[in-house]
Amino acid sequence: MSKNNPELGREVNEYLDLKGINTPVTNLVAEDREVKIEKIADLTKQMLEVLGLDLRDDSLEETPMRVAKMYVDEIFSGLRYDTFPKCTTVENKFCNGDEFVLEKDITMYSDCEHHLRPIIGKAHIAYIPGEKVLGLSKLNRITQYFAQRPQVQERLTQQIAEAIAFITESDDVMVIVEAAHTCVSQRGIKDTNSSTSTACCLGKFGDHNSVLRREVIGSI
């Protein structure tokens, strides 16, 4: 049984388009997987040769194909709608009023869209269920899906929050992402100690004086 839901992926991404927070893509995002891999492998080969690497060496000769498959099938697979996770919901029999669900310390790996260097961190997600409760692992999978794109952290945080709001039909969602950017630590300023925190607070969590908001932040 497939763990993906292409139709939901299309609906969620169209919703993010309407919100103006989707990742900017062209029609090539839907190009055939094999075609993409061949093109990326060829371009990677050219880049490595321009850098002066000898791709006849047995350690390097398969690198272009490895990189191409990694980009298409793994670290940038969230660009495709058909990789969106199947998101099982159940009837809400447990949370009433302002009771919320909080999942924290969700492992997150992404890549900065400015330099294609890793973003490594964690996400914390809270929402107040309405009629639907989302399976806990789906919060991890939604985070992973949007992280597997070239990203800026601010947009990534918004995409996760709005996608969960759309799927659960809840107006009240809060997402906090804390991450270190290797485009900062590995190049440029080379600051290895800094990290970045971003938040998207919807509905009842959007009130800066909200007891709910403070309760979530205090639980992280």
Give 103-121 as a 3 state SS string. Answer: EEEEEEEEEECCCCCEEEE
Instruction: Give the tens place of pLDDT for each residue, 27-73.
Output: 999 999 999 999 999 999 999 999 999 999 999 999 999 999 999 99
How does residue 94 score in pLDDT terms, banded at 50, 70 and 90?
A: confident
At 42, list the tokens.
């060829």
The contacts of residue 69 (CB under 8 Å, 6+ apart) are 37
Stated pTM of the model: 0.95
CA distance 116 to 22: 18
> Residue 196 has what pLDDT?
98
Axis crossing angle, helix 6-19 with helix 153-168, rounded to the nearest 10: 120
Percent of the chain with pLDDT over 70: 99
Q: What is the largest CA-CA distance in the chain?
A: 65
Task: Determine the CATH number of domain 88-219.
Answer: 3.30.1130.10
Query: Average pLDDT in the 65-85 region?
Result: 97
> Residue 216 has what pLDDT?
95
Instruction: Give the tens place of pLDDT for each residue, 108-124.
Output: 999 999 999 999 999 99
User: In this model, does residue 97 exceed pLDDT 90?
Assistant: no
Q: Are 140 and 100 in contact (CB under 8 A)?
A: no
Instruction: Give the tens place of pLDDT for each residue, 192-214.
Output: 999 999 999 999 999 988 899 99
Known catalytic residues are: 112-115, 153, 181, 183
Instruction: Give the tens place of pLDDT for each residue, 151-163.
Output: 999 999 999 999 9
Query: Average pLDDT in the 103-108 region?
Result: 98
Mean pLDDT of the chain: 96
Residue 23, CB half-sphere, CA atoms under 13 Å: how many?
26
User: In this model, does residue 1 exceed pLDDT 80?
Assistant: no
CB atoms within 10 A of CB 57: 9
Q: Are 149 and 187 in contact (CB under 8 A)?
A: no
* Domain-wise residue ranges, the chain: 6-82, 88-219
User: In this model, does residue 96 exceed pLDDT 80?
Assistant: yes
| R_g of the chain, CA atoms, integer Å | 19
* CATH architecture, domain defined by 6-82: Orthogonal Bundle (1.10)
